[in-house]
Amino acid sequence: MYWLTGLKCAGCGGQRAVYCLLHGEFLQAMRFNCFLVGFFPVFAIGLYAGPFAKKKWYPYVGLVAMLVFMVVRNLSGVDL
């Protein structure tokens, strides 16, 4: 998406972030994709084992959070 439009999607830098996490470089992973490192694990655990596991609306929370992150990361002057 970045190559085609010049906009960063919510997953841009995700593979590099996972690589850094596997090598113990937490801060560098946060620099590549803070959404993946910070929000996604909490959301995934809550989706299957948390108090919202049976709620039909809970997956939409993740979708909205991802879209908000994508908009914020593409604002000028914001480096996420």
pLDDT band, very low/low/confident/very high, at 40 (cuts 50, 70, 90): confident
Interacting residues of 19 by C-beta distance below 8 A, sequence separation 6+: none
pLDDT band, very low/low/confident/very high, at 80 (cuts 50, 70, 90): low
pLDDT of 79 > 90? The answer is no
Task: Let me know: does 36 contact 44? Beta carbons within 8 Å.
Answer: no
In a domain, 33, yes or no: yes
In a domain, 19, yes or no: yes
In a domain, 21, yes or no: yes
pLDDT of 55 > 90? The answer is no
What is the chain's mean pLDDT, rounded? 88
In a domain, 1, yes or no: no
Q: What is the pLDDT of residue 59?
A: 87
Where in the sequence is the domain holding 12, given as residue range(s)?
8-73
In a domain, 61, yes or no: yes
Q: What's the pTM?
A: 0.77
Query: How many domains does the chain contain in total?
Result: 1
SS3 28: helix
pLDDT of 49 > 90? The answer is no
Mean pLDDT of 47-72: 88
